[in-house]
Amino acid sequence: MDGDLLPDGRREVSVLFTDLEGFGELTEKLGDGPVAALLSDYYAAVGHIVEKHGGVVDKLIGDCVFATFNAVAAVENHRQIARKAGEEIIAEISGLDAGGKPLRAAVYAASGPAEVRTFTAGGHTATTVVGRTVNRAGRAMRRPRYGSVTDADLE
């Protein structure tokens, strides 16, 4: 992470979610072990791209990666950078083998004001982003467009 660490509070951020095409069916076809190995490669690729662009992987949720830009670390031009990271993720993921065919991902991005907060649940502490900006990107996931970046701000 190259940017300055930012305190909790309200600010302009960019977020992105990733989604893999046919993940449930792929899990049934390949089985748990091979899918876990595929997820390891997928998470590593997405994490590398996000971090290369100054973003932070916030959560891994099944086949979804949730990443933020300008939330934890300062990132100038975070809107453009998040979309560029999304395009690189689409290209990189298509090189992974998903049971004999290329893996396809969709990326959903949104930018705008959000609340950045550090929360504690039991012994786990995490900094995350909440608000309408996150919700916009999440709603775009209901209309998957695999092989592309959906800009929820333009929807």
**5-24: pLDDT as tens digits:** 788 999 999 999 999 999 99
Q: Could you tell me if residue 41 is inside a domain? A: yes
pLDDT, tens only, 87-114: 999 999 999 988 888 999 999 999 999 9
Confidence grade of residue 2 (pLDDT, cut at 50, 70, 90): low
pLDDT, tens only, 37-79: 999 999 999 999 999 999 999 999 999 999 999 999 999 999 9
Q: CATH number of the domain at 144, please.
A: 3.30.70.1230
pTM confidence score: 0.92
Map 54-65 to HEC letters: CCEEEEEECCEE
Q: State the total domains in the chain.
A: 1
Domain around 98: 9-154
Tokens of 15: 């977020």
**Burial (CB count <10 Å: 0-12, 13-18, 19+), residue 10:** exposed
